[in-house]
Amino acid sequence: MEADELRIGTAEREEAARLLADHFGMGRITPDEYETRVTDAYAATTLGGLRPLFRDLPPPHPGFFGPAPPYAQPTMQLPMYAPPVANPYAPPPTPYAPPMPYAPVPYSYRSKTVAGVLQIVLPFGVGRFYTGQVGLGLLQLFVVLVTGIGFLWPMIDGVMLLKDGGLDAQGRPLRP
């Protein structure tokens, strides 16, 4: 049996169509020729039906045609697409700069003075309710109601708020 009489399958037809698309993309065949050749490739049933489609084209040819003649084999495989080249006009890369140690932090809209005074004047966690720390405020309220001397904790907390400030429920520092 001759090689051209061997039947081909879908994989061979698709490889031929893909290679024809490559040749079309390189400008070797016109759009009309491409359409005609791809239609013929999908209609082919034997190797002999595909060979004429590549006869006037340089490699690459389908691999199932067998090895190319020695005069048609390239001496070096060239990439189809060139590797990316760095932009010569781009600015040079900057070394990593650590963040500023004193980056500006957004302040809360609540005041540390108001929170401290509320803690001292109403010593059952009202200042912590004001800052949005409801859990701490409820704990201070519970300690004051259950124990008689629990009011010392909210008062000391109020003095600390006046002296050092604190954080609101979102973790932002209280406004001075």
Number of domains the chain is built from:
2
> Which one, of 5, 16, 1, 10, lies nearest residue 64 by Cα?
16
Residue 87 placed within a domain? no
Q: Is the pLDDT of residue 67 over 80?
A: no
- State the DSSP string of the chain: --GGGSB--HHHHHHHHHHHHHHHHTTSS-HHHHHHHHHHHHH--BHHHHHHHHTTSPSP--GGG-SPPGGGS-SSPPPSSPPP---TTSPPPPPP-PPPTT---PPPSSBHHHHHHHHHHSTTTHHHHHHT-HHHHHHHHHHHHHSSSTTHHHHHHHHHHHHH--B-TTSPBPB-
Q: What pTM was computed for the model?
A: 0.41
**Could you tell me the residue range of the domain that residue 41 belongs to?**
3-66
Residue 118 placed within a domain? yes
Residue 49 placed within a domain? yes
7/61 same-domain check: yes
pLDDT (tens digit per residue) in 18-55: 999 999 999 999 999 999 999 999 999 998 899 899 98
The answer to whether 119 and 156 have CB atoms below 8 angstroms apart is no
Residue 58 placed within a domain? yes
Residue 148 placed within a domain? yes
Residue 81 placed within a domain? no
Paired residues of 175 in beta bridges: 111
Residue 31 placed within a domain? yes
pLDDT (tens digit per residue) in 101-158: 665 678 887 888 988 888 888 877 888 888 888 888 888 888 888 887 777 878 888 8
62/117 same-domain check: no
